Amino acid sequence: MADFSISKRIAILPCGGCRLNCSFDCVKCSLFNNWYHRKCQQISADERKIYNKIELGYVCVSCRTLDGIEFDYLMGMRRLKNAADTKVLAKLKTAVTRETLFKIEFKPVSDKDVVFPPVRVDVITKEVMNKYFDEVIGDPIITTGKGNCLFNAVSLILYGDESKSVQLRYHICLRMVRDSTSYMNHPHRKRIQCLSPSYEATCIDCATIGGFSSA
């Protein structure tokens, strides 16, 4: 449990944001143990209470963003991986609950935003498709694999390149874990094919970049 009690702090420390003394209504970043005024981190009193209850503690704005504004997805994935490495779904659920509090929104793109660069056609798959399908619409294109081919492919389709692969993986992992009960009880559950041996294992593997590698 993260320790937010003022009485247990050794001394009055300056807020990592405004540099004034942090003597009241403060939160501690669990990564580097810096203290901040709750308002300097722009979190509500209720959110502070929730962070207080979460075993993993709070993550400050500078630790979870690239420039104080843009969310650092690689760091987000690293936090999820740390929880997933325990192989316990309950631990990953706790990490996902914390990430959800950061309120990072998935930004879909419109067709107008997508500029498709020249793509590499997978000639072998094309040959197979021509052999087994009566009608083949479009060319199969190559994406980078290494356990990320699904997200790279979706990024390529949505954004025209693979640059949003990590972002997609992060948001999909959050959704899979957060709504695991509804997915596991879905009426078409038997027709949903998991990439890993079970739904729980798929969540765990999704939390690790490259986690769906068959190598």
Residues that bind Zn ion (CB under 5 A): 15, 17-18, 29, 31-32, 37, 40, 60, 63
Closer CB to Zn ion, residue 60 or residue 166? 60
Q: CB 211 → Zn ion: shortest distance, Å?
A: 26
Q: CB 38 → Zn ion: shortest distance, Å?
A: 9
Are 17 and 3 in contact, with CB atoms under 8 Å apart? no
Instruction: Report helix, strand or coil for 30.
Output: coil
Q: CB 29 → Zn ion: shortest distance, Å?
A: 3
Are 16 and 34 in contact, with CB atoms under 8 Å apart? yes
Instruction: Report helix, strand or coil for 37.
Output: strand
Closer CB to Zn ion, residue 18 or residue 124? 18
DSSP secondary structure, 103-160, as one string: -PPP----GGG--PPP--B-HHHHHHHHHH-S---S--B----TT-HHHHHHHHHHHS
Q: CB 51 → Zn ion: shortest distance, Å?
A: 12
Closer CB to Zn ion, residue 60 or residue 207? 60
Closer CB to Zn ion, residue 31 or residue 149? 31
